[in-house]
């Protein structure tokens, strides 16, 4: 008979419990010294060994070989009848496992209380109640338990396991104060991997490095899951465990898919998002898993970008990400991660996952790239000949790399950068431009800024957020006033006057020059505002400006709480 790995390798002693030595050592010591508490609270994420440790505790308390000296160190023997029964979860007079998720009512609490009154089956044994998902217990149930814990019967131990201790704190603070609390650590992918490798070695099973990595990553901090997932792979056939087998068995998305999506984003091929997502959906990929997988890949890319190691990354993916280091930017990656993090809880519940995913990815592909303030300043003050952002770390794809952008105006506009405005205008603007006039310019100022953004001068557009044309001369001289006066913006805008003129000329005919002046100060400003404040102000302005120009984006900012990272 095949015994599942998850079962076969479930720890039988305190020493076997991976990672949680801070808990197991304390419990072992308490048993060895005969100082076991009446109530324990085991807190931590699922699959990290809470119930397992509770069982080992029950085994140690009731081990038949304790009197023989086997348990002097507090460890159960793991082999006697009592140990075996408790370990396997089969019926035991003295160890009662209760799933609070299914036994919530006050009746069960009374039942529990009555049962607790019964002593253990014999003098040398302990009655152990293991209450799983304890946060699901009702207030009434906790009240009943409080009465027991206030005057605990001898040789009765309660172990509460929960993933959400804060709920217990709300519902049953007085009980909490009578429990000894242990916080279990999440098992890191590296620890899971190490232990999994040991298990496979003991089982004489061969596995590829990448397969191990995929399994430990899919286990998401749970040793139990790692072993069950491995069982799942083994159930599909014998032989070496390869990355491909793991992927097939677990329905994982190939790493290349995530990398491919990052390429689409970096290349700003927004149109390809739809075909790619549709293909995944058609292939039956769970889009929720896809989005988590993509987040993992972005996290790994970010770690590499920042000089970290990304230990749970496969060799294959590591190589691919390293090849793309210059094209991905830490700020952008961080911004994407934040956006995914904000979306994920909603995503799981949504009936429109494909749409949500597409929208998110298209935004990633189209959003302005993060550029440091210094780079913005450099890029803009470099003047009209200094290409878009010469030293920006933004890893913008070269213009000729983005021929598949969805809208033709994007292509033309992006090529217009650095070209004589007149030549490209004809392509972008089919209808004859309106003659320039102050009222018209004011009215369509937002369009001018949008035009700047689409032609790749979004930083300039941002600097112009709080500006307005105040005069248009007969000769076509457009005067723009900046409000509030801001030296940084003023410089930037003045340096970009040629581009502003080009943008104006896509909509109006007859503009010849652009001059920029600061608005007259109404209120005196602090003379030396700290730099930090100024940066903050610029950020706020940029965000406000983005919202003003693009209602869709504004909604996205609200929904995703996007922050501009500088």
**Among the residue ranges 72-80, 206-214, 264-272, 284-292, the one whose residues contact Zn ion (CB under 5 A):** 72-80
Tell me the closest approach of the beta carbon of residue 79 to Zn ion, in angstroms.
6
Nearer to Zn ion, 77 or 141 (CB): 77
**Which of 17, 77, 264, 270 lies at the binding interface for Zn ion (CB under 5 A)?**
77
Stretch that binds Zn ion, among 73-81, 127-135, 396-404, 484-492 (CB under 5 A): 73-81
CA atoms of 197 and 191, how far apart (whole Å): 10
Cα–Cα dist 482/508, whole Å: 21
Q: Is 57 in the site for Zn ion (CB under 5 A)?
A: no
552 vs 541: CA distance, rounded Å:
18
Please list, in sequence order, all residues whose beta carbon lies within 8 angstroms of the beta carbon of residue 244, skipping any fewer than 6 positions away. none
Residue 76 or 545 with smaller CB distance to Zn ion: 76
d(C-alpha 2, C-alpha 326), whole Å = 50
Q: What is the DSSP letter of 245?
A: H
Q: How far is the CB of 70 from Zn ion (least distance, A)?
A: 7
Nearest of 190, 321, 339, 176 to residue 255 by alpha carbon: 321
Applying the rule CB under 5 A, the residues between 104 and 133 that interact with Zn ion are none
* For residue 484, cis peptide bond before it (omega within 30 degrees of 0): yes
List, in sequence order, every beta strand (DSSP E) within 493-564: 508-509, 513-518
CA distance 289 to 261: 14
161 makes contact with Zn ion (CB under 5 A): no
Q: Are 509 and 436 in contact (CB under 8 A)?
A: yes
Stretch that binds Zn ion, among 59-67, 409-417, 423-431, 556-564 (CB under 5 A): 59-67
Cα separations in angstroms, 223 against 48, 126, 358, 441: 6, 28, 34, 64
For position 243 contacting Zn ion by CB under 5 A, the verdict is no
Distance CA 344, CA 318 (A): 25
Based on CB atoms, which residue is closest to Zn ion, 81 or 522? 81
CB contact at 8 A, 299 and 359 = no
Q: What is the nearest approach in angstroms of Zn ion to the Cβ of residue 60?
A: 8
User: In this chain, which of 57, 63, 148, 317 binds Zn ion, going by CB under 5 A?
Assistant: 63
Comparing CB distances to Zn ion, the nearer of 56 and 492 is 56
The residue assigned the tokens 């048993």 is: 31
| Among 36, 53, 80, 504, interactor with Zn ion by CB under 5 A | 80
Give the residue with the Cβ less far from Zn ion, 68 or 164.
68
Distance, in Å, from the CA atom of 328 to the CA atom of 322, rounded to the nearest integer, reads: 10
CA dist list (Å): 137 to 40, 42, 104, 156, 176? 16, 15, 5, 19, 13
What's the DSSP call for residue 406?
A: S
Q: Please state at what angle helix 21-32 crosses helix 50-62, rounded to 10 degrees.
A: 20
DSSP H or E stretch at residue 99: strand 95-99
Nearer of residues 130 and 357 to Zn ion, judged by Cβ: 130
Q: How far is the CB of 81 from Zn ion (least distance, A)?
A: 8
Q: Site for Zn ion (CB under 5 A): how many residues?
A: 5
Which residue, 87 or 347, is less far from Zn ion as judged by CB? 87
Give the nearest distance from C-beta 126 to Zn ion in angstroms: 13
Which CB, 83 or 330, lies closer to Zn ion? Answer: 83
Query: Whose structure tokens read 């972008």?
Result: 428
- Residue range at the interface with Zn ion (CB under 5 A); choices 75-83, 122-130, 239-247, 403-411: 75-83
Q: From 25-33, 69-77, 353-361, 459-467, give the range in contact with Zn ion by CB under 5 A.
A: 69-77
With H, G, I as helix, E, B as strand and everything else as coil, classify residue 538. helix
By CB under 5 A, residue 61 contacts Zn ion:
no
The only residue of 83, 156, 159, 452 in contact with Zn ion, by rule CB under 5 A? 83
Query: According to CB under 5 A, which residues from 167 to 196 bind Zn ion?
Result: none
- 330: contact with Zn ion by CB under 5 A: no
Q: How far is the CB of 10 from Zn ion (least distance, A)?
A: 15
* From 81-89, 300-308, 505-513, 537-545, span contacting Zn ion (CB under 5 A): 81-89
Contacts with Zn ion, residue ranges (CB under 5 A): 63, 76-77, 80, 83
């Amino acid at each position: 008979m095949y015994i599942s790995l998850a079962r076969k390798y479930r720890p039988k002693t305190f020493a076997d419990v991976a990672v949680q030595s801070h808990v197991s050592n304390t419990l072992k010591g308490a048993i060895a010294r005969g100082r076991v508490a009446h109530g324990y609270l085991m807190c931590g994420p699922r699959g990290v060994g809470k119930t397992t440790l509770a069982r080992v505790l029950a085994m140690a308390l009731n081990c038949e070989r304790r009197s023989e000296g086997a348990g002097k160190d507090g460890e159960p023997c793991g082999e006697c009848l009592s140990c075996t029964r408790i370990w396997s979860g089969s019926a035991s007079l003295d160890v009662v496992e209760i799933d609070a998720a299914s036994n919530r009512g006050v009746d069960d609490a009374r039942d529990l209380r009555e049962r607790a009154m019964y002593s253990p089956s014999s003098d040398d044994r302990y009655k152990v109640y293991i209450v799983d998902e304890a946060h699901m217990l009702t207030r009434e149930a906790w009240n009943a338990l409080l009465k027991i814990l206030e005057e605990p019967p001898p040789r009765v131990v309660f172990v509460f396991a929960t993933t959400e201790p804060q709920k217990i704190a709300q519902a049953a603070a007085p009980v909490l104060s009578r429990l000894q609390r242990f916080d279990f650590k999440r098992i890191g992918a590296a620890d899971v991997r190490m232990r999994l490798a040991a298990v496979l070695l003991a089982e004489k099973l061969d596995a590829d490095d990448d397969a191990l990595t995929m399994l430990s990553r899919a286990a998401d901090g749970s040793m139990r899951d790692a072993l069950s997932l491995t069982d799942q792979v083994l159930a599909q056939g014998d032989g070496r465990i390869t990355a491909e087998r793991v992927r097939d068995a677990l329905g994982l998305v190939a790493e290349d898919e995530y990398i491919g999506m990052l390429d689409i984003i970096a290349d700003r091929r927004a149109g390809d998002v739809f075909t790619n997502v549709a293909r995944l959906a058609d292939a039956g990929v769970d889009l929720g898993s896809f989005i988590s997988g993509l987040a993992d890949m972005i996290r790994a890319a970010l770690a590499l970008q920042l000089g970290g190691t990304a230990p749970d990354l496969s060799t294959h993916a590591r190589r691919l990400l390293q090849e793309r280091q210059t094209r991905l930017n830490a700020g952008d990656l961080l911004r994407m991660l934040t956006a995914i993090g904000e979306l994920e809880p909603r995503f799981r519940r949504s009936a429109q996952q494909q749409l949500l995913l597409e929208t998110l990815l298209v935004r990633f592909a189209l959003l302005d790239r993060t550029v440091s303030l210094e780079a913005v300043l450099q890029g803009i003050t470099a003047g009209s000949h200094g290409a878009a952002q010469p030293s920006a770390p933004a890893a913008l794809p070269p213009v000729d790399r983005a021929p598949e952008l969805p809208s033709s105006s994007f292509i033309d506009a992006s090529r217009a950068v650095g070209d004589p405005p007149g030549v490209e205008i004809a392509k972008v603007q089919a209808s004859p431009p309106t003659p320039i006039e102050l009222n018209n310019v004011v009215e369509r100022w937002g369009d001018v800024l949008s035009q700047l953004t689409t032609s790749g001068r979004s930083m300039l557009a941002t600097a112009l957020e709080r500006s307005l044309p105040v005069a248009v001369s007969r000769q076509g001289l457009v005067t723009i006033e900046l409000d509030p006066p801001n030296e940084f913006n003023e410089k930037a805008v003045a340096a970009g006057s040629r581009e502003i003129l080009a943008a104006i000329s896509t909509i109006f005919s007859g503009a010849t020059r652009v001059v920029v002046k600061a608005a007259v100060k109404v209120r005196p400003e602090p003379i030396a505002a700290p730099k930090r404040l100024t940066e903050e102000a610029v950020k706020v302005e940029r965000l406000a400006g983005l919202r003003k120009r693009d209602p869709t984006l504004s909604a996205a900012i609200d929904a995703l709480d996007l922050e501009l990272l500088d």
